[in-house]
A and B are shown apart, each in its own frame.
Chain A
């Protein structure tokens, strides 16, 4: 890497930016230890929803299970199919098996779980059982 002397005073960070860009190219962008997938959790009176971004994972490669109050998402990100003579320029995406357990605020039953996958975004909606719903208590007139 050769950096010509920067004479452009108007952009003092130009050299640093170009160095950072070169570093980006040689260090993998993904960290191996990080948990996959990242999830967002949505809550309401009737249900809880968990959404996760799983690009490139087909619905057949995801396993969703509920046991008591733990929702488990597991599956596999398939390694990319590269022809024999293929040459890698960049490999930023990760692959391999993943598993993630999410604790729900209530025990769910299997028949109240609904999962849908659109464009690589998984959405699991877990309905709240009747007995867990908050009960409104009426105040009796004395």
Chain B
């Protein structure tokens, strides 16, 4: 195996306090798109199953945590590492006009999608103009 280092896409550590277990916490890369009915977030969380995602909304702060079960193949030793494994965590501050009861989330292939629909009263109302 070569000793040259290959420059790979690096994971950024999350801006969180240290963990007691000594493991790293990473900041998942996120795409945020605003659509007609709300905001949709897509977070990269490889190694996180749907049951291990924890999403909380407290005082407008949406915190997303994902627990990773490390993939340690049995009887094999790590010979060369380009990425580290660790939990994911990232928090976003939301504006007031989201409906907290309608936040939806799904996980597919290590990709978490969170949909934040805007509250009904915050959606623009179209006023029809009557022809006389």
Report the separation of the CA atoms of residues A40 and B73 in the bound assembly, to the nearest whole angstrom: 11
Do the beta carbons of A42 and B47 come within 8 Å of each other? no
Do the beta carbons of A34 and B2 come within 8 Å of each other? no
Do the beta carbons of B9 and A119 come within 8 Å of each other? no
* Number of A interface residues in the complex (CB < 8 A): 49
Binary contact track B39-59/A, C-beta < 8 Å → 1, others 0: 100101111110000000000
- Known: A53-B47, A105-B1. Is A44-B8 also a contact (CB below 8 A)? no
Do the beta carbons of A90 and B31 come within 8 Å of each other? yes
- Contact partners of A87 in chain B: CB under 8 A: 33-35
- Contact partners of B48 in chain A: CB under 8 A: 119-120
Interface residues of B in 44-83 (CB under 8 A from A): 44-49, 71, 73, 75-83
Do the beta carbons of A55 and B8 come within 8 Å of each other? no
Contact among A47, A54, A90, A125 for B30, CB-based, below 8 A: A90
Do the beta carbons of B32 and A53 come within 8 Å of each other? no
- Contact partners of B6 in chain A: CB under 8 A: 35
- Contact partners of B46 in chain A: CB under 8 A: 53-55, 119-121
- Smallest CB separation, A50 vs chain B (Å): 9
Do the beta carbons of B76 and A47 come within 8 Å of each other? yes
CB closest residue in chain A, given B49: A119
The majority secondary structure among interface residues of chain A is loop
| Number of residue pairs A-B, CB distance < 8 angstroms | 144
Contact among B8, B33, B49, B76 for A80, CB-based, below 8 A: B33
Q: Does B14 contact A (CB under 8 A)?
A: no
Do the beta carbons of B77 and A44 come within 8 Å of each other? yes
Do the beta carbons of B39 and A89 come within 8 Å of each other? yes
Q: Does B36 contact A (CB under 8 A)?
A: yes
CB closest residue in chain B, given A91: B31
- Known: A42-B76, A80-B42, A121-B46. Is A36-B9 also a contact (CB below 8 A)? yes
Interface residues of B (CB under 8 A from A): 1-2, 6-10, 12, 29-36, 39, 42, 44-49, 71, 73, 75-83, 107-111
